[in-house]
Amino acid sequence: MSKRMPKLVWLMPVLSIMSATPAFADGAIKQTKGDFEDKFRQLEEVLPTPNVYRNAAGEPGHQYWQQQVDYDIDVTLDEEKRRIDASEEIVYHNNAPDTLKYLWIQLDQNKFRDDSMSALTTTFGGIGNRGPATSAASGSSPAKLSMGAIRRQQFVDDNELGYQIKKVTDGRGKPLHYVIVGTLMRVDLAEPLKPGKKTELNIDFGYNIVEEDAVSARSGYEHFPDDEREGGNDIFLLAQWFPRLAAYTDYEAWTNKEFIGRGEFTLEFGDYEVSMTVPADHIVSSTGVLQNPRDVLTSEQRDRLEEAEDADRPVFIVTPEEALENEKEGTSDTKTWHFKADNVRDFAWASSRKFMWDAKGVKQGGPQKHVMAMSFWPKEGGDLWKKYSTESIVHTLEVYNRFTFNYPYPTAQSVNGPVGGMEYPMITFNGPRTELQDDGSRTYSLAEKRFLIGVVIHEVGHTYFPMIVNSDERQWTWMDEGLNSFLDGVAGREWDPDIPWGVEPRDVTGYMKSQTQVPIMTQSDSVLRLGPNAYTKPAVALNILRETILGRELFDFAFKEYAQRWMFKRPTPSDFFRTMEEASGVDLDWFWRGWFYTTDHVDISLDKVYKLRLDTEDPDIDYARERQFEKDKPMSLTVERNQEEGRKLWVERFPDITDFYDENDQFTVTNKERNKYQSWLKKLEPWERKAFERAIEEDKNYYVMEFSNVGGLVMPIILEMTFADGSKEMLRIPAEIWRRTPKAVSKLVVTDKDKELVSVTVDPRWETADVDVENNHYPRQIIPSRIEAYKSSSTKTGARRDIMQDIKTELKTDDEDEDGEKKEGDDN
Amino acid sequence: MQAGLYALLFFVACGQAVAHQQKIAITTVLFNPRTENIEIMHRFNLHDAEHAVKALFKKTADILDDKETQTQFARYVANRFVLFNAQNDSLPLNLVGFEVEGKHFWVYQETAQPPALQGLQIRHDALRDLWPEQVNTINVEGNGDLKTLTFTDSVELLEVHF
């Protein structure tokens, strides 16, 4: 949809074109008569055919394989030039059944080149770019260029960005032919690499580090010009910093899709040895375990690290005072930090003289029985980091371990820098900070506190998904972001349920009913609104699966099974769908189809409820009932008005002329009916008679409820029935009720004689993401809009907000949650 | 093409691997048959609003706890949201109020429904003058089928027909 026309955008024609195109084609099998849509159609032709690498259960197949890539890298950080130069030795193990003539290598830094696909396809005022935005001319208003965009442009002009590849050779130093294709490089091997063999590769490279604030990357440097040291200081976050092998997979072969910016990474596991040479006064945080503490840490720091191993609360390795002193001046000396990491899919690090550092050991079940949780932050992180960063890491491990597997790595770190939140194995970059006040103190708001705890949980949670359960981020953002958002919500609620963490089904209704929704199963770079699509909606879907459809026991078992099956392996969406279904024993194809493959939303309407009563067939009872039924009808207006006019009736005027029918009405029972009833009874089989008599005796209430599916997404129908005696009952009808008539269903509900139904509510706890709650009530209720509710609660309680404010003012704390005042009604 | 400059603010653009500062808002424009008003309900993420008020007003502005900041932010939003009728006249909107609910900040506006409205033009610049990457989505409901308008990139004015 072009929005850069120099005139108003007329929405309706565009939308009608869009809706004429099916959201996805189902392929060969089509319903070509009538309008029946099989919402429960099995995903047969939608999911890939199971094979020896990925079986029908969603497990790694009996010939599952994946490549292994080991790296040995020596890198030097040039602080003045803000540049790194490095040489890497790569050992590539070909575990595939295929012979490889060339290797594809990811050169992510090339995204920042001004001739990259990312740069060239960034539209003016365009969609989906991660960097500072611009806006084109529209109507009468001039085009706008934000200062951020200008800053980016100038930075790109002034700095040569992207990799300088200085040398590519084989293990013996013989140059190899290579071709750079955007953010990728094909290296042609001297000899084809046979299955089961390995090859060595050496690459010398360097690049100028981007300024994160200028270009909006996932790493880079941040400059602190106001520090006491002349020229200020920097924090360096290094990620996507070395040429990394693209993944070679059984489902896509080389995953050599250009890095445009949104779809993140697809990587191989391997072992890393990395030596970083940095200014001698820097502190380095890195994926892996430090191998040479004697060379880079003081004996006091080493003692503190040892003390932290089994401390109850985090112990400072570098104290705030020491960090503050350290950042006052620099040095021209260097030190080399040596880290080692086994079985990781990536490697990132951070370096600065500004870092303070704390640590706390976590004990857990094996095989990795001890984990060091550590945080690194500058003075700008302040008390917020001191109190909550490392503790948040520890909490994350506790909760995620329960849902998946024991954290398998020896360290888990949180580093403060210019990146808002980004994840790598054993190390995460998190942005929240304190504010410097005029009196020199540093404070933080409640929102910033929630942000810190939330972002640390989320990013450390990514160590599980996708750093260990190694899904393909470039194709399917939801596989790590959706699963992780679901679990970070669980972890958040176990931290403090009063803080509004996580995702409630009601949070996503505004997105799901909008016309800008795209299916979750959409490649990352094509998604229109990534947040609600890849984070919120899949997280809500999993929440619903857990709390509403499968229940915790089945869900938790299946989810854990998925995590354990694919730990250190590479799952695809079908592996997740199949495992959840296979391990829970519940057919979920309709759920995946509805939530992940379509843009339907949930809106179930209860249109009508009516009552039936069983005939006794006994004429003496049934005829009397019918007579009463006739009597209960309102009197004819004509008859009533005739009476009012005092009109004398013929039968009143001539009472002497009467006959049998004046005494007996049409409901009079004769022996003819009684005989017929007796002979009917005799013809009943004994079991029929027994059932009939019991039903007559119990005289239950029979209610028929009619539902329509306005939103199109089939879901369980959850009913709360309120009875005349004030009691309530829940009834949960599985989604399968919609299988033959997906647009409308009716349901018979039988209740005891004394349970007379007065009202019914669909989804009373708002657990299904039903977008319209007004049609959830029978009889209909007026659901006030948010504004109506807001107005009425304001008038009822007078100066409601002032009272809350006063209470808070007295407390003088920012630990209080602003809650209460939950509104009924529209749940946008 | 004429080029004007704006937004003299350097805002730290955060990485997006986490849903924290999402820079998205969702607004319902509801034709309410009971009140015969057009009701406008803006939902901002509290964390977006938290950062916005610090950038817009002052460093100590506190959207969670300070009623003055909340009022100021509500006014800011109200000033940047305009409904025009087919004759290009803007409809007078009344600022009903605002509230914090969970992780959201809500701002409410309304106007009496003008008779026989053929369509609406909507302008929704809130936070888009602060962060060009802000996306404001509007669902127009209660007058025929739901219609969605998305204010993103350079879009400044969108139109719905009834």
Instruction: Output B151 or A391, whichever has higher pLDDT.
Output: A391
Looking at residue A156, its pLDDT comes to: 80
Compute the distance between CA of residue B44 and CA of residue B48 in angstroms, rounded to an integer. Answer: 7
Is residue A528 pLDDT above 50, yes or no?
yes
Least confident segment among A90-99, A259-268, A469-478: A259-268
Q: Which residues contact A679 (CB under 8 A, 6 or more apart)?
A: none
Question: Tens digits of per-residue pLDDT, A576-586?
Answer: 999 999 999 99
Mean pLDDT of B111-138: 84
Q: Is the pLDDT of residue A494 over 50?
A: yes
Give the residue-averaged pLDDT of A195-220. Answer: 92
pLDDT score, position B112: 81
Least trusted range by pLDDT, from A589-603, A687-701, A732-746 = A687-701
Q: What is the mean pLDDT of residues A276-295?
A: 98
Q: What is the pLDDT of residue A76?
A: 98
Give the range among A163-177, A258-272, A404-418, A805-819 with minimum mean pLDDT.
A805-819
Which ranges of A2-125 does DSSP label H, i.e. alpha helix? 11-20, 117-120
> CA-CA distance, A650 to A808, in Å (whole number)?
82
- Higher-confidence residue of A284 and A659: namely A284
* Residues in CB range of A123: below 8 A, 6 or more apart: A4, A129, B153
Q: Which of A132, A136, A828 comes nearest B41 by C-beta?
A: A828
Report yes or no: B112 at the A interface, CB cutoff 8 Å.
no
For position A4, what pLDDT does the model report?
39
The yes-or-no verdict on residue A134 having pLDDT over 90 is: no
Average pLDDT over residues A792-809: 50
Q: Closest approach of chain A CAs to the CA of B47, in angstroms? A: 6
- Where b means 16+ CB within 10 Å and e means fewer, A575-588 reads bbbbbbbbbbebeb
Instruction: Kindly determine whether residue A450 and residue B47, on different chains, have CB atoms separated by under 8 Å.
Output: yes
Q: Which of A110-124, A344-358, A787-801 has the lowest mean pLDDT?
A: A787-801
pLDDT of residue B89: 86
Distance from B133 to chain A by nearest Cα, in Å? Answer: 6
Give chain A positions within 8 Å (CB) of B93. none
Enter the tokens of residue A767: 């657990």
H or E segment to which residue A386 belongs: helix A382-403
A821/B7 Cβ within 8 A: no
Of the pLDDT bands very low, low, confident and very high (cuts 50, 70, 90), residue A142 is low
Distances (CA, A) of A225 to A156, A229, A231, A680, B12: 21, 9, 6, 99, 15
> CA separation (Å) from A769 to A562, A711, A729, A827?
25, 11, 21, 9
Which range is least confidently modeled, A113-127, A200-214, A443-457, A637-651?
Answer: A113-127
- Asked if B97 has any chain A CB less than 8 Å from its own CB, the reply is yes
Please give the backbone phi and psi of residue A192, each rounded to the nearest 5 degrees, phi first: -60, 140
From chain B, the residues in CB contact with A130 under 8 A are 13, 16
Q: What is the mean pLDDT of residues A110-129?
A: 75
Out of A123, A148, A531, whose CB is closest to B11?
A: A148
Mean pLDDT within A11-30: 48
What pLDDT shows up at residue A420? 86
3-state SS class at A480: helix
> Is residue A306 scored above 60 in pLDDT?
yes
Cβ–Cβ gap A821/B101 under 8 Å:
yes
Contacts of residue A320, defined as CB under 8 A and 6 or more positions apart, other chains included, come to: A356, A379, A386
pLDDT at A29: 85
B72 close contact with A: CB closer than 8 A:
no
pLDDT reading at A20 higher than 50: no
The verdict on a CB contact (< 8 Å) between B152 and A3 is yes
Q: Do the chains contact at B17 and A421, CB–CB below 8 Å?
A: yes
Confidence of residue A680 (pLDDT cuts 50, 70, 90): very high
CA–CA–CA angle A431, A434, A435 (5° rounding) = 120
What pLDDT, on the 0 to 100 scale, is given for residue A135?
Answer: 54
Per-residue confidence (pLDDT) for residue A713, from 0 to 100: 97
- Vertex B50: Cα angle to B106 and A828 (nearest 5): 25
The pLDDT tens digits for A544-572 are 999 999 999 999 999 999 999 999 999 99
> Any bridge partners for residue B160, and if so which?
B120
Q: In the A/B pair of chains, how many CB contacts fall below 8 A?
A: 250
Q: Is A485 helix (H, G, I), strand (E, B) or coil?
A: helix
Confidence at residue A338, expressed as pLDDT on a 0 to 100 scale: 98
- What pLDDT score was predicted for residue A366? 86
**Tens of pLDDT, residues B3-29:** 333 322 222 333 334 445 678 899 999
Nearest to B43 among A146, A801, A828 (CB): A828
**Three-state DSSP class for residue A394:** helix
Amino acid identity, position A226: D
Closest-CA residue to A358 (of A335, A339, A377) = A377
Q: Tell which residue, A302, A294, A289, A244, has the closest CA to residue A269.
A: A244
SS3 letters across B20-77: CCCCEEEEEEEEECCCCEEEEEEEEEHHHHHHHHHHHCCCCCCCCCCHHHHHHHHHHH
Nearest to B21 among A147, A420, A821 (CB): A420
Token code pair at residue A510? 């505004």
Q: For residue A446, list chain B residues with Cβ-Cβ distance below 8 A.
A: 64-65
**B64 interfaces chain A, CB cutoff of 8 Å:** yes
Residue B59: per-residue pLDDT: 79
Q: Residue A818 and residue B153: Cβ atoms within 8 Å?
A: no
What is the mean pLDDT of the segment spanning A716-740? 97
Q: Which of B153, B157, B159 to mutate against chain A (most A CBs within 10 Å)? A: B153
Q: What is the ipTM of this complex?
A: 0.77
pLDDT at B154 over 50: yes
Nearest Cα to Cα of residue A508 among A527, A532, A489, A488: A532
Confidence check: pLDDT of A492 > 50 = yes
Name the residue among A513, A511, A512, A503 with its Cα closest to residue A540: A503
At A124 the pLDDT is 65
Tally of CA atoms within 13 A in the half-sphere of A529 that contains its CB:
25
pLDDT of A823 above 50? no
* pLDDT the model gives residue B119: 84
d(CA A740, CA A748): 16
Chain A closest-CA separation from residue B77 CA (Å)? 16
Mean pLDDT of A384-392: 97
Of A159-163, A367-371, A486-490, A742-746, least confident by mean pLDDT is A159-163
Q: Which residue of B has its CA nearest to A503?
A: B103
pLDDT band at B103 (very low <50, low <70, confident <90, very high): confident
What pLDDT does B36 receive? 86
- pLDDT for A589 equals 97
Of the pLDDT bands very low, low, confident and very high (cuts 50, 70, 90), residue A784 is confident
Instruction: Please report, rounded to a whole number, the percentage of residues in chain A having pLDDT higher than 70.
Output: 89
What pLDDT, on the 0 to 100 scale, is given for residue A678?
A: 93
Q: What would the mean pLDDT of B96-108 be, rounded to a whole number?
A: 91
Q: Is A176 helix (H, G, I), strand (E, B) or coil?
A: coil
Question: Once rounded to an integer, what is the mean pLDDT over residues A444-460?
Answer: 90
Q: Is the pLDDT of residue A816 over 50?
A: no
Structure confidence at residue A435 as a pLDDT band (50, 70, 90): confident
Least confident interval from A463-472, A509-518, B98-107, B148-157: B148-157
- Contact between A446 and B64 using a beta-carbon 8 Å cutoff: yes
Contacts of A160 (CB under 8 A, 6+ apart): A208
Model pLDDT, residue A594: 97
